Each structure stands twice: as structure tokens, then as C-alpha cells.
Chain A
Amino acid sequence: MSDRKNDSNYVPSRFLSLSHDEDGSLILYCARTGAVGVVADGDVDAARSALLPGTVTEGPLGGILADLEQGGFLVSEGVDESALAHEDYIQRYTDKSLELIVMPTEQCNFRCVYCYEAFLRGEMAQDIRDGVKRYVESQSGLEQLTLSWFGGEPLLAGDVVAEITEYCQSYAERTGAAFLCAATTNGYELTPEYAERILPLGLTNFQISLDGVEHDHDERRVGANGEKTFARIVENLRYLHESDHDFEVAIRHNFDPGNLPRVSEFYEMLKSEFGGDDRFVTELQPIGRWGGQNDADLSVCEGRPMLRSLIEAKKLALDAGFRDAHGIDMLRPSGATCYAANPRSFVIGSDGKVYKCTVELDYHDRNIVGQLHGDGTMDLDWRKMALWTETNGMDAGKKCVTCYFSPTCHGAICPKEWMDEDEAECPKSKHTIGDTLKLIRAESLFVKPAGVP
């Protein structure tokens, strides 16, 4: 191999973030490699000096500096890190993964106050179910198959979910592909009977919303006939908690100024119910005006106060013993990139329409990118596909090009927002990077908190 110039000199990565923790240690993050590291107090000065912008450190490296090089915090002088990040990102065009987000029905048994869906279509017909299975079967050399159930409420079409999940699990077993199956469900129909049926078939990851303590939840996540929903969901979750099944439930808390004051009470309730069970994790999402019929009446958290509330609530969740469902994953390379930006991710409507975005659905023609047929073939409109897979964030002159966080989102945190607004909001974890790194560090030292069963 030819000699490289400047191989023995090292400079700080351009994708770095540094933050100090209360004990004096330095928490480092490199967005290109996804490495998070803690520099102990005694090495902080040496590390900080080497990581100052413009510093050149002569090799060979030893001690803490060698560790910094290993994590990508220091890089060989002359290395084009942006080119490396770009090279990694474009592999998504030909990688051997496939993500199908399937809507087995668009009907729902809830009428959440902030919902934007219209519940227009019913259960997926048999020919489209066959189409999904044949489409999966037609993939060659697949290494990762992700099947995500969405709706409507997917478990209203429990037989469809079971049929396709079972098929995909069997496909993965036959071909050696890794299989991940998840459902975004309100949890109402995840009864003990259905759990016993579906978990062995491979559906083991659930995102279930509890929007606070009982009365807060029941005001926001209302049954289609006005009924309360909290008690039955928690009852279903209790069954899972008491079972020996291998699963993960991400309890999503949608917050607004109304339920936020009781978030501490909410996590205390979760702790008493599910604390110490690492199969339960948490996530938080500020309620937004997403285009539903109650938008004008919604009170929402926004801007810096929302970010502050988010961090405070995450600390409470951690104190209660729950890991963040997305904490460190959002900091990995491409971890904050929207699924819609992935050329190998498709949303399949119950009628076989193919979308990219589950928020835009058929509310704009540009999101209807194709049609899945019963024979397993898929028509795709590549012009529309390009809108979602090549967002504007990384275009010349746009804010993401020079951003230290760009290897996590590549300017594609939300392709839809780039289309609808002048520019998309940055990932929340970038805005709160200092606190986020502290929380990740705390989670890495996680021990079961006092008081959990």
C-alpha cells in the first residue's frame, strides 16, 4: 500500500461534542462513529487539549489519546470525515435490509384528542396479505427484515397481524435473516389471550401510549364510544409483566401542559407497576397539532420550555428505573434519520397503497409512492421516492452540511418537514446534547433504584 501523508498526526474530529458531568469528568460524543466516552478527572486536561479545534497531535498515541483515536474523537490529519459519513449513509440504497410498516386496518377503537387519521379503510384483504408475503419472499440475500405494525389500531385486525408475522418469522428462519417485529398499538386488544398467541409468532416489541396517570390518560386517549381506556391497557401490561415472555414494551408518554405537572406521579405509578422489569422502557413525545379535528383546541408544549420539560421528565423516568427507548440509539450513525428517508422502508396501506410517511399518509399525492399487488410485485414511482430519500438538509448551503450532528440524521430527521417548512427542526437530542449525554452515562451505570419490587 502506498504511504499516506500525515499518518502520524492527529486532529479532533469535526463531529465532536464535549460536555462536563457533575463529578468533573468529561463526556465525549462523536456523531460519525456514535462513540460515547467518559474521560476520568485525571485525564480531562490532556483530552481537552488534544480536542481543541485546530490542535495537531503527533503520533504515535498512547494512554487516553490512543483511546480518543479508537473512538473516532481524534482522526488522522487529512482524513475526509464528511466523505466517510456520506459513504456510510448511501449504503442504504443497496443494503440487505427491508422495513415494512404495515397497516392491517385503518380502523381504530380509540379517538385520541390529537389524532390526525380518518379511519377510511377497513381490514387488509387476503390478496394484499398474500402480496406482502410474496414481496418478502421475492427478496434475495436479505440480512435484516423489520416488520412494524401500524394503523389505525393494528390489533383490531389481529388475524392479519398473526398471519403475516408468522410468515415473516418463518421466512427469516429459513433464510437466516434477522427478524424484528414491532407494533405501534394502543394496547387495548393486547389481551392475555392475544399476547399468548402473538408473542411466540415473533411480535415481541410494542409501543404503547399511556398519556399520564389514569384521569390524564382517559381525557386524551378516549375510546371510540367515549369509554375510558387506561384500566384495561394497564391490566394487559400487568399480564405481560407477570409472564416469562421475552418482549419489550416502550411506554410512550405524550405530554402537554395539562398532564406535565403530574409526570412525576405518572412515573411513580409505572415504578410501582413495572419497576425493575427491564422489558419495560419509556419514551416521551410532546403532543403536537398534527392535523386532527381538535387542533385548534390543543394546548401544546413548544420551544425551549418543551425541551427542558423533556429532559426533566427523562430524568424522572430514569430515577424510576426505566431506560429510554431511544436514548443512545438516536446518537448512533444514521440513528436520527427518519424511516421515510430509507429507500428500503415502505408503508403498506390496508389496500396495498405504498406510502413513505405514516404522518402524511394519503394527505398529499407525493406520499403515495406505489402499489403492492397480490402477486408480490410492487410498482414504485421513483420520482416520488426521491423526494423522501434525498431530503434538502444536505444540499449545498443548507444548515446540516456543516453540523457536527449530521452523521446521525444526514439532514433527514423529517423529510416531510423539509417539504412543508423552510427547514426542518433539528433532532431534540442535538438541542439537549449535554443533558442527553449525562442521562446516557447515568443509564450505563444503571442499578435498580430503591423501592422497586
Chain B
Amino acid sequence: MNNALPCEKLLIGVSGSIHCSQIGGYLAQIRREFAVSIRVIMTRTACDMVNPKTVELHTDSPVIADIWGTPQSKSPHITATRWADLFVVLPASANILGKAAHGIADDVLSTAILASRGPIAFAPAMNPSMWESAAVQRNLQTLKEDGHYIIPPQEITSVTTGDYDSGLGPTPESLMPHLWHVLMKHTKDVYWEEATRTLPMTPAERARQNLPLLAIADKQQASA
């Protein structure tokens, strides 16, 4: 097994899609496979749908549900977004997508989205008729053009209608590869310049330039 999970600090924004009733399943899988430390921001509607105390069972700190934060975490829209290696909005309701696309900051989650410096992964989840609406599709396009990442919803069973349909959010399993991709791509982008500043040199190339071998100490093992 690998000794470390890839994401040190993950910030999750939970918005008021009924899909948030399944947030516990996501958090369990994310903790097991992906993120060492998790903080959660919840909108007021999300708090009506899921008790934040339940969510806190999976996290290392209290749920952030207020723009004023807590005595330990003031101005969370700034501190939490600076803290995070990756910010994912899960689930992303039509409302939060619209706010994010238009720069509206009228609650703690939408303000955090606006304050975030890095790309955000949005996992939309809503009724199919909303998902297919021109307004939502337009907002998704805007978010992509702004450099954000949209996690495609799957065809799953609707919480509200019981129908099997599209637009209803990713499953925990279908979410994970997207989280990996967004994190690793961002990590690569940040590290790229440093990692490619110098060219690799084979031992023969180093010898031609009278440079010592990188692994010279290991020679002893070879001759042992």
C-alpha cells in the first residue's frame, strides 16, 4: 500500500441540492482513498437538508456555515480557501453554479468560491429538467471558460422522483477519478517550471562534463 494519500488538505463546499443527503458516503470514500484533512463549508439550505453534526463525524474541524466563521477560523472564505490544496463543490446546485458563474457572493460558500485562487471542481446535481436548461448549460460553459472543472453527473436514481435519470450528480465511485485528475493537474502545473528547469543527464553525459555521478554512493552495493 502507499503510505500517503495524494491530497493533504481538501475543502468541500456543500450546497443545497438534495443530493447532499448522500454526503456521508462521499466523505467516507474521500477520507479512505484521497484526502488526509477535510474541511466543509455548508450553505444554509444544505444545513436544512443534512445535520452538520453528522458531517463533522467525517471531518477534522467544525462545519463552516457562516461568513463570520468561528473563533478558531475567522473569515473562512479567505482562510479556508488559502488552506486548501483542492476545493470541490459537492454537490453543486443550479443556484450555486449560477452564483459562481456570475461572481455573486451573498453567503459563505459563494463568497469562498469567489475568493478562491485556484481552480474549483464543481459536481453538479439537480433535477434533469434543470440540468438541461439553457441557463444552467450557459453557466457551466462560463465556469469552464473561467478555468474551473465540471464533474459530469451520472445517470442515477433521483432522490425526489425516484426516476433513473441524468443530471443527478456523480456517484462516490465516479467522483474519485475526477478529484485525482484535478488535483494532479493542478499539482503538475505548479511544479512544472521547477521540475523542467534542468535537463536530465545520464552518467555518460555527466562524465563528459566532468560532473560526479548522482548515484556514486550506490556503486559500493554493485561491487559487493
A370 to B47, CA, bound (A): 42
Given A343-B180, A362-B215, are A386 and B191 neighbors across the interface (CB < 8 Å)? yes
Q: Which residue of A lies closest to B1 (CB)?
A: A138
**Is B209 on the interface with A (CB-CB < 8 A)?**
no
Residue of A nearest to B7 (CB): A382
Shortest Cβ gap from B158 to chain A (Å):
11
CB distance from B177 to the nearest CB of A (A): 4
Residues of B within 8 A of A291 (CB): 200-202, 204-205
The reply to whether the CB of B2 lies closer than 8 angstroms to some CB of chain A is yes
Most buried by B among A120, A378, A391: A120
CB <8 Å contact, A382 and B6: yes
A366 at the interface (CB under 8 A from B): yes
Chain A positions within 8 Å of B195 at CB level: 366, 384, 387, 419
Once A1-B155, A292-B204, A382-B4 are accepted as A-B contacts, the answer to whether A351 and B221 lie under 8 Å apart by CB is yes
Q: Is the CB of A2 within 8 A of B128?
A: yes
Judging by beta carbons under 8 Å apart, are A386 and B185 in contact?
yes
- B146 touches A (CB below 8 Å): no
B185 and A295 contact, CB distance less than 8 A:
no
- CB <8 Å contact, A360 and B200: yes
By the criterion CB–CB under 8 Å, are A119 and B200 in contact?
no
Tell me if A304 is interfacial: C-beta within 8 Å of chain B: no
Chain B: which residue is nearest A364 at the CB level? B200
B132 at the A/B interface (Cβ < 8 Å)? yes
Q: How far is the CB of A119 from chain B (nearest CB, A)?
A: 7
Task: Decide: A390 and B184 in contact? CB cutoff 8 A.
Answer: yes
* Residues 172-197 of B contacting A (Cβ, < 8 Å): 173, 176-178, 180-181, 183-185, 187-188, 191-192, 195-196
- Residues on the A chain within 8 Å of B219, using CB: 120
A386 B188 Cβ-Cβ under 8 A: yes
Determine if B213 is an interface residue (Cβ-Cβ < 8 Å): yes
Q: Which residues of A contact B (CB under 8 A)?
A: 1-2, 83, 87, 90-94, 106-107, 116-122, 135, 138-139, 290-293, 295, 343, 351, 360, 362-364, 366-367, 376-380, 382-387, 389-392, 416, 419-420
Question: A120 to B222, alpha carbons, bound, how many Å?
Answer: 6
CB distance from B188 to the nearest CB of A (A): 4
Describe B's contact surface by its main secondary structure.
Answer: helix
Q: Is the CB of B3 within 8 A of A363?
A: no
When the two chains form their complex, are residues A382 and B214 in contact, meaning their CB atoms are under 8 A apart?
Answer: no
B155 — which chain A residues lie within 8 A by C-beta?
A: 1
**Which of chain A's residues have a CB closer than 8 A to the CB of B173?**
94
Whether the Cβ atoms of B202 and A121 lie closer than 8 Å is no
How many contacts A-B (CB < 8 Å)? 134
Cα distance A233–B4 in the bound complex, in angstroms: 44
Please determine whether B164 and A1 come into contact, CB atoms closer than 8 angstroms. yes
Whether A293 touches B2, Cβ cut-off 8 Å, given contacts A363-B214, A382-B187, is: no
For B204, give its contact among A94, A293, A343, A351 (CB under 8 Å): A293
Establish whether residues A363 and B201, one from each chain, have CB atoms under 8 Å apart when the complex forms: yes
For A363, the closest partner residue in chain B by CB is B200
In angstroms, Cα B42 to Cα A357, docked, is 43
Given contacts A2-B128, A392-B192, 13 further A-B contacts (CB under 8 A): A2-B129, A87-B152, A93-B184, A116-B202, A118-B215, A290-B202, A293-B204, A343-B180, A378-B3, A382-B4, A383-B187, A387-B191, A420-B200
Give the chain B neighbours of A376 by CB distance below 8 A. 1
Distance of A158 Cα from B176 Cα, bound (Å): 40
Beta-carbon contact of A90 and B187 below 8 Å = no
* B132 lies within 8 A of A122 (CB): no
- A292 to B219: give the CA distance in the assembly, Å: 18
**Binary A-proximity of B89-133 (CB < 8 A = 1, otherwise 0):** 000000000000000000000000000000000000000110010
Task: Known A83-B152, A120-B218, A121-B221; judge A380-B3 contact (CB<8 A).
Answer: yes
Q: How far is the CA of A107 from the CA of B67 in the complex (A)?
A: 62
CB under 8 Å from chain A, chain B span 210-224: 213-215, 218-219, 221-224
B207 at the interface (CB under 8 A from A): yes
Q: Is the CB of A94 within 8 A of B132?
A: no
Alpha-carbon separation in the docked complex, A293 to B205 (Å): 7
Residues of the B chain whose Cβ atoms lie less than 8 Å from the Cβ of A292 = 202, 204
B198: interface (CB < 8 Å): yes
List B contacts of A118 (CB < 8 A).
202-204, 213, 215
Verify if B17 is at the interface (C-beta below 8 Å from A). Answer: no
Which residues on the B side are within 8 Å of A383 (C-beta)?
187, 191
Q: Is the CB of B207 within 8 A of A121?
A: no
A94 near B177: Cβ-Cβ < 8 Å: yes
Given contacts A2-B132, A291-B204, contact A93 B224 (CB under 8 A): no
CA distance A363 to B199 in the complex (A): 9
**Given the complex, which residues of A lie within 8 Å of B43, measured CB to CB?**
none
Partner of A295, one of B183, B192, B199, B204: B204
Is B177 within 8 A of A90, CB to CB? yes
Check B81 for interface membership: any CB of A closer than 8 A. no
Tell me if B15 is interfacial: C-beta within 8 Å of chain A.
no
Q: Would B180 and A387 count as touching, CB distance under 8 A?
A: no
CB of B153 to closest CB in A, whole Å: 12
Q: Which of B129, B200, B205 has the most CB of A within 10 A?
A: B200
Beta-carbon contact of B177 and A91 below 8 Å: yes
The chain A residue with its CB closest to the CB of B194 is A366
Which of A290, A362, A376 has the most C-beta atoms of chain B within 10 angstroms of its own C-beta? Answer: A362
- Please indicate the chain B residues that have their CB under 8 angstroms from the CB of A391 in the complex: 188
Contact B2 A90 (CB under 8 A): no
B180 near A122 with CB under 8 A, answer no
Contacts A380-B2, A383-B187, A392-B192; is A93 near B181 (CB within 8 Å)? yes
* CB nearest neighbor in B for A385: B184
Partner of B213, one of A120, A367, A386: A120
Cβ-based interface call for B60 (8 A): no
A383–B221 alpha-carbon span in the complex (Å): 29
